[in-house]
Amino acid sequence: METKIWIVDKFMGHDLIYPQLEEAAQLLKQGETVAFPTETVYGLGADATSDEAVDKIFLAKGRPSDNPLIIHIGNKKKVEEIAVDIPTPARVLMNRFWPGPLTLVLKKKPGISEKVTAGLETVGIRMPSHPVALALLEAVDLPIAAPSANLSGKPSPTLAKHVLADLNGRISGIVDGGPTGVGVESTVLDCTEAIPVILRPGGITKEQIEEAIGPVNVDKALLASGQAPKSPGMKYTHYAPDAPLYIVEGSREFLQQKIDDLKAQGKRAGVLTTLENESFYRADVVLVCGTRHDLSTVAAHLYEVLRSFNEHHVDIILSESFPQEGVGQAVMNRLMKAAGHQVISEID
């Protein structure tokens, strides 16, 4: 299969964007798969009403079919065609954060492929804020299922070249709209409970949600074995680089000692760190993903840095840990998944 690439400048007006996206939109209408940028990561889109189209997502990614997908829409009115019994808090959040990196889990109407929802009676919906995504979704005028556009288990793509590296020849096309912004996937909030529940932390923080609608809960059993996940990306290991990744909880001196231990064993060690500590570590590869003073910078570059370790051919990666506040909760969630929950703690 030839994977076509369309380059679109996200700063152009819609009148200029639309002609460049006509072929991509037509392929989606024909049941093909097309990757496109959102403000979080690149998504791999297909018609959410077609079993055959959705199957192509799972086939291209090598993704288990019991993991539900998020539906992307180009305008808020589309929600009424997909969901039923939409509660007031959900409507408040749509008005506050859409378009943006917030997915709302709602009760579904008939018409959406069962393969999108993994047999659940609920469906995750979001309206991305990336202008290229919105232009494409408006042109297609269909609900589009779109998980991250990467091979299952690998770091999510924040650049079109990441998509091409994973999926070239496996999908019909890639809309290259430049780098994404937020860098980690959307927050997923289950609005079917009396008190909404965060199923996946992401670009919109718990604090922001609570400011809008009051208290929300955080799902404590995201990875419970045997439990059907309501949220995409929470059942299987994700985001992993090629080399084993360990999260180090403790001082930077403790982390350096672990580096020294690995080097004494003849291992090539990599460190994921921040601007503040870059010059401190003596390792084979030291990569910076942002600043501790602004964890949104860490979120924005996390997946790109995880992918970069593959190019440096390290044996083991050690990562600093981060405060689980604000977007830091999403950063640590993704790092834990990438590390398979392997943690080295200074205090045992």
Q: 107 lies in a domain?
A: yes
Q: 229 lies in a domain?
A: no
132 and 251 belong to one structural domain: no
- Tens of pLDDT, residue by residue over 217-239, are 999 755 443 344 455 544 445 67
Percent of the chain with pLDDT over 70: 94
123 and 202 belong to one structural domain: yes
Nearest partner of 170 among 155, 151, 157, judged by Cα: 151
249 and 315 belong to one structural domain: yes
194 and 86 belong to one structural domain: yes
- Tens of pLDDT, residue by residue over 137-170, are 999 999 999 999 999 989 999 999 999 999 999 9
218, 237, 272 - which closes a domain: 218
16 and 57 belong to one structural domain: yes
Domain count, the chain: 2
Say which CATH number the domain at 155 has.
Answer: 3.90.870.10
162 and 279 belong to one structural domain: no
Amino acid symbol at 335: L
CA torsion angle 95 97 102 103 (round to 10):
10
Q: 238 lies in a domain?
A: no
27 and 112 belong to one structural domain: yes
Say which CATH number the domain at 310 has.
Answer: 3.40.50.11030
78 and 182 belong to one structural domain: yes
Range of the domain at 101: 4-218
148 and 288 belong to one structural domain: no
Average the pLDDT over 31-52 and give the result: 97
Q: 234 lies in a domain?
A: no
201, 218, 235 - which closes a domain: 218
CA dist., res. 271 & res. 276, Å (int): 13
In this prediction, residue 5 carries a pLDDT of: 96
CA dist., res. 1 & res. 235, Å (int): 30
Q: 276 lies in a domain?
A: yes
CA dist., res. 335 & res. 75, Å (int): 32
Contacts (Cβ under 8 Å, ≥6 apart) of 265: none
213 and 100 belong to one structural domain: yes
- The confidence band for 65, taking pLDDT boundaries of 50, 70 and 90, is confident
Q: 338 lies in a domain?
A: yes
In this prediction, residue 148 carries a pLDDT of: 95
- Tens of pLDDT, residue by residue over 88-119, are 999 999 999 999 999 999 999 999 999 999 98
94 and 205 belong to one structural domain: yes
Q: 235 lies in a domain?
A: no
Q: 172 lies in a domain?
A: yes
- The model carries a pTM of 0.91
24 and 163 belong to one structural domain: yes
